[in-house]
Structure 1
């Protein structure tokens, strides 16, 4: 599909949140995907990934995940300075603010004439975790998490009972969990821990581990695996289609 893109500044309890909207150019109603970036916010690779998803028939909302900690429109570089700033923002944002951000995105989308009632979530790296976090919202039917970081840690600040893995009972939709076996950000032990916790619930989920490094979906840098990225996009689209058709 041909697509169109624009942005909107959505009010949240912690300030205005710049949100980039990528969607089919044709008139119609389509499912809406909350799409979460890495710590660097909407970089070129994230923009292109969101547009790929939109071109398959989805309204894609890309929020600035650290909007309350940066000027509107901030994009961090894939360098030491950008990494340090993004990690600092990750450490300084209240985890419950992600929930109010999700509420604001969903409530705004519900008011749009292009939304067909179906919500999903998708994200890479910390965005994979934030997509997982979005799955706590009952409106989210399907969530694709790519090499989600910090699900097994308490690096993201939280109050007792507020860590994402402590709230598995709140997930009602299906999960698609995708990992790289050579990902140094999530150890083999961490993968086992996360998987066992999911197995202890009645959550419906798929679990896939590939021979790939962290950020293998990012079409920039030497960790990018174009063939695997194509496979994973196709898996995601089939996953969303199945859940939104139910």
Structure 2
């Protein structure tokens, strides 16, 4: 499937948010996926992943998650300086800021003639958490979270009662949670905490733990695991096919 890529600058309560749109080149209507990057924003691996999703028949929106804290177009490098800057940005943006970002993208989508009204979310690392956060929006039917960081912690600033795990009742769609057991950023105790909370809240979710390191989906660097990445994409496509095409 041939795809096309462009960008749009959306206005949010916290400033202009550059959003990259990758979608099939077709005259028909398609479902959409809000796709959330790591702390580095739309790097090469993130763009390739977004285009891969789009090539399977989805319009994929990649927002600059730290748009309030960086010039438009900022991409951080996969090095110590980029990691330090990205982690500082993560600890500077209140989690509720992502809610208004999500509303801006959803409202923009609703005005697009090619959008069929069915919406999912997906993300890696902090993007896995932000996809989980997007699941709070009533329009989101299915969400794939890959090694979602900080669901078990208080690293991302939040107001009382606004931590993502305190708002599980707002999640109405299906969740896919995929973790690497050798990921030092989300230890076994943290994963267990998230699992128990989801069970107690009676959310609709599937849970997978694989022998992988953090960032095993990223097709760059020593931690990339192509076989696990293939499994991850297959699980995500199954989720989206059932909820955005059939369901």
Q: TM-score range by the shorter chain?
A: over 0.9
State the distance in 1 between where 2:178 and 2:94 align: 26
Q: How many residues align?
A: 246
Partner residue, 1:201 = 201
TM-score between the two structures when normalised by the length of structure 1: 0.99
Unaligned stretches of 5+ residues in structure 1: none
The Cα offsets for residues 146-181 of structure 1, whole Å up to 9 and x where unpaired, read as 000000001000011000000000000000000001
**How do 1:26-41 and structure 2 match up within 5 A?**
26-41=26-41
CA apart distance, 1:203? 0.9
- Secondary structure of the residue aligned to 1:92 is coil
CA apart distance, 1:28? 1.2
CA apart distance, 1:227? 1.2
Kindly indicate whether residue 212 of structure 2 is the aligned counterpart of residue 219 of structure 1: no
Partner residue, 1:147 = 147
CA apart distance, 1:27? 1.6
Partner residue, 2:170 = 170
Partner residue, 1:58 = 58
State the distance in 1 between where 2:152 and 2:12 align: 28
Partner residue, 1:83 = 83
- Secondary structure of the residue aligned to 2:231 is helix
Partner residue, 1:234 = 234
TM-score between the two structures when normalised by the length of structure 2: 0.99
The Cα offsets for residues 94-150 of structure 1, whole Å up to 9 and x where unpaired, read as 211100000000000010011001010000000000000000011100000000000
State the distance in 2 between where 1:230 and 1:223 align: 14
The Cα offsets for residues 7-44 of structure 1, whole Å up to 9 and x where unpaired, read as 00001011110000000012211101000000000000
Partner residue, 2:243 = 243
State the distance in 1 between where 2:127 and 2:219 align: 16
CA apart distance, 1:202? 1.9
Kindly indicate whether residue 18 of structure 2 is the aligned counterpart of residue 13 of structure 1: no
State the distance in 1 between where 2:87 and 2:10 align: 24
Unaligned stretches of 5+ residues in structure 2: none
State the distance in 2 between where 1:170 and 1:146 align: 20
The Cα offsets for residues 178-228 of structure 1, whole Å up to 9 and x where unpaired, read as 000100100000011100000101210000000000000000001000111
CA apart distance, 1:234? 1.1
State the distance in 1 between where 2:96 and 2:238 align: 31
Kindly indicate whether residue 123 of structure 2 is the aligned counterpart of residue 123 of structure 1: yes
The Cα offsets for residues 60-100 of structure 1, whole Å up to 9 and x where unpaired, read as 00000000100000000000100010001001112111000
- Secondary structure of the residue aligned to 2:138 is coil
> Which 4+ stretches in 1 moved above 6 angstroms?
none
- Secondary structure of the residue aligned to 2:167 is helix
